[in-house]
Chains A and B, each alone.
Chain A
């Protein structure tokens, strides 16, 4: 995951073999310019809806919807609901829910207070988590995320989105 910069490179034990999943392949094809970023030192308050990835290293409060991947860095603080296809979470979540269409991954050192809804779930040792876990299917995801999907769709005629290949 060199794409995300050094801060996210875990030291791998020599015996640990990294499994190749669909989303690591996907991440390699992402253009850096398409990635939304809330940098360290930045605070976003409000609603975000996007077809692209989001990387958070700063602070975010509100509702966030991504049709791709959300990566939350170690020092990031998040409050509110996050809807995404994939979430890699290293940061701190202070209340709110995760709704994940595919895989939710809680990384070592993260802190989460809130409920988790997902299709697939991965937790590393040393991830702190307080809340409920529940499996949800794709139809249920779309039902819950529909206000955010509407926000994205409504805006598209103004400036059509060219999805990069």
Chain B
């Protein structure tokens, strides 16, 4: 991550966190926990060594050290796969950097800007959050 980035502007999913859903962001994102869904960011995505990310990742830059068992990267600029990472999924990128010991299973293809815009605009239907099963009914909670 650039050193000049203000940490308060970075969204973060820390270790010990599970997130299912969609993230849209104009800033950088760091993931150390578990993520499932879709990420759409205009900044950089950094995925830590112990993180698990499944789903579509649409970003300008990605530094990936974690694990992906299902999904696709759409990276407008540089996709960087770090040593120790594991990716089962497709990679679409403008530029690719792979460290020794990065495990990749999937198709690689260069992505042009037009295609990227198309993907970024696409609204994938987000799986609606399951309704909370336990509802507090009127009067069943409380000490009156």
Contacts and interface: CB of A to CB of B under 8 A. Distances in A.
Given A46-B37, A50-B17, 5 more contacts: A37-B11, A42-B24, A46-B129, A147-B134, A161-B16
Contact of B8 (A39, A44, A48): A39
A159 B52 contact: yes
Nearest to B32: A33
B34 A36 contact: no
A151 B29 CA distance: 22
Interface of B: 7-27, 29, 32-34, 37, 50-52, 126, 129-130, 132-136, 141-143
A49 interface: yes
A32 B7 contact: yes
Interface in A121-161: 134-137, 140, 143-147, 151-152, 155, 158-159, 161
A44 B22 CA distance: 6
The interface centre, meaning the residue of B10, B14, B16 with most chain A CB atoms within 10 A of its CB, is B16
Contact of B52 (A36, A146, A158): A158
Contact of A33 (B14, B19, B24, B52): B14
Interface in A1-41: 5, 7, 32-41
Interface residues of A, number: 51
Given A35-B14, A37-B12, A143-B134, A46 B52 contact: no
Contacts of B34: 155, 158-159
A148 to B, nearest CB: 8
Given A42-B29, A137-B143, A147-B134, A36 B18 contact: no
B56 to A, nearest CB: 14
Contacts of A137: 143
A31 to B, nearest CB: 9
A117 interface: yes
Nearest to B40: A43
A45 B126 contact: yes
